[in-house]
Amino acid sequence: MDAGVAGFRFGGIACGIKKSGAADLAVIVADRPVACAGVFTKNLVVAAPVVRDRALLAAGGLVRAIVVNSGNANACTGEQGARDADRMGALAAAALGCAPGEVMVASTGVIGAPLPMEKLEAGIPRALDAATADGLAAFSRAIMTTDTRPKVRTGVIEAGGRRFQVAGAAKGAGMIHPNMATMLGFLVTDAPVAPADLDALWRRVCQDSFNAITIDGDTSTNDTALLLAGGGGEPLAGEALAAFEAGLLPIARELARDIVRDAEGGTKTVSVTVAGATDFAAAQRVAEAIALSPLVKTALHGEDPNWGRIIAAAGRSGVAVEPAKLRLTIGDVLLYAGGEWCGKEAEVAARAVMQTPEYPIRLDLQQGAVAHTVHTCDFGADYVRINADYRS
């Protein structure tokens, strides 16, 4: 599938940050300044690139490029880290002939070590020179850390009688939790969207995509999701804008689910839907309680339809659930209803569902009409091994 989007170029190279010699510096370049929207981590311990990008987007303005390094998070690095993040933007701006404030920067990797700026000073101009219209695959590989594979999605959206391209890449396999939910996500489109509209729709899209995934409950210091919109002509509005947002959501959602599919030590991708809630907050709270539960996640790994763990997680969520009203299904198998277990035959059927790599769990609270889905994974021994050895 052609990953190109008119008006954008992508690149990824190795500049020596990673000891392995793997690609570790990535760029996205717009042919002209474009609108940009961003959603960031809510962790109070925040990496220097996040501080910089949030401030730039809050001040308004357009964007020419994104520069991303992997292998070093530039987090908890003090004033030097802030200077280094600014320097990354300035290096790209000098090469492109634009203002430093028109360059977003992002970093991912180990927390606490200063950036090797001499490598970035040599690498950023090379990465920009290497950027091509079909370079999204190289970009996606260069932003990886513990990921086992690149994560790329493309699509075409029809809105207002026009067709628009969308392409994006993400990284992440651990330290993932939907509180902006280490993850990074970048999408570009040739649709014309006004900056204020772009910001509002991107926040809504992220709520049901990058903010609706969890692997281990840890919110990173560096989480960043950026959307660039560079189309010309009259900005989308009204029904056309709504159609564009509706088309963007499934692309972002699948890119977010790709992160869960590549979870550190994970073998299952499970969609936990809580329906019948009185409001969004209640649905989200119960879904996250289930999706985050270590006991539920280990049961997923063991392919054990231990429905009691799911019901118990809902009961401790802080939402006033009514046990006699709850209806729990795994796949299309009803396991619990009316306050009672549905029997051994149902459990055997549910276990067969759980032996597949991807499946849904649905809990209906039967209190209202609101639903929310959180995408999660199982917990296995490999998750402990990967994270115990991460800095070794």
Would you name the residues annotated as active-site residues? 182
Residue 336, judged by CB atoms within 10 A of its CB (0-12, 13-18, 19+), counts as buried
Instruction: Residue count of the chain, please give it.
Output: 392
- Could you tell me where the DSSP H helices lie in the chain? 48-58, 78-96, 117-130, 136-142, 195-207, 238-261, 280-292, 294-301, 307-315, 344-354, 381-388
- H/E element, 270: strand 269-277
| Dist. CA 294–CA 305, nearest whole Å | 14
C-alpha pair distances (Å), 356 with each of 50, 253, 290, 317: 38, 21, 19, 28
**CA neighbours within 13 Å on the CB side: how many for 267?**
14
Find residue 67's DSSP bridge partners.
27, 105
What tokens does 158 get?
């029809």
Contact 75, 145 (CB under 8 A): no
Instruction: Give 97-117 as a DSSP string.
Output: TS-GGGEEEEEEEESSPPP-H
Nearest alpha carbon to residue 166 among 228, 243, 225: 228
What tokens does 168 get?
């994006």
* Helices and strands (H, E) in the chain, number of each type: 11, 14
C-alpha pair distances (Å), 17 with each of 86, 90, 301, 325: 18, 19, 35, 55
Nearest alpha carbon to residue 150 among 66, 265, 26: 26
Contact 170, 183 (CB under 8 A): yes
Residues 6 or more apart in contact with residue 274 via CB below 8 angstroms: 283, 284, 286, 287, 290, 314, 362, 363, 364, 365, 371, 372, 373
Instruction: Give 15-39 as a DSSP string.
Output: -S-STT----EEEEEEEEEEEEEEE
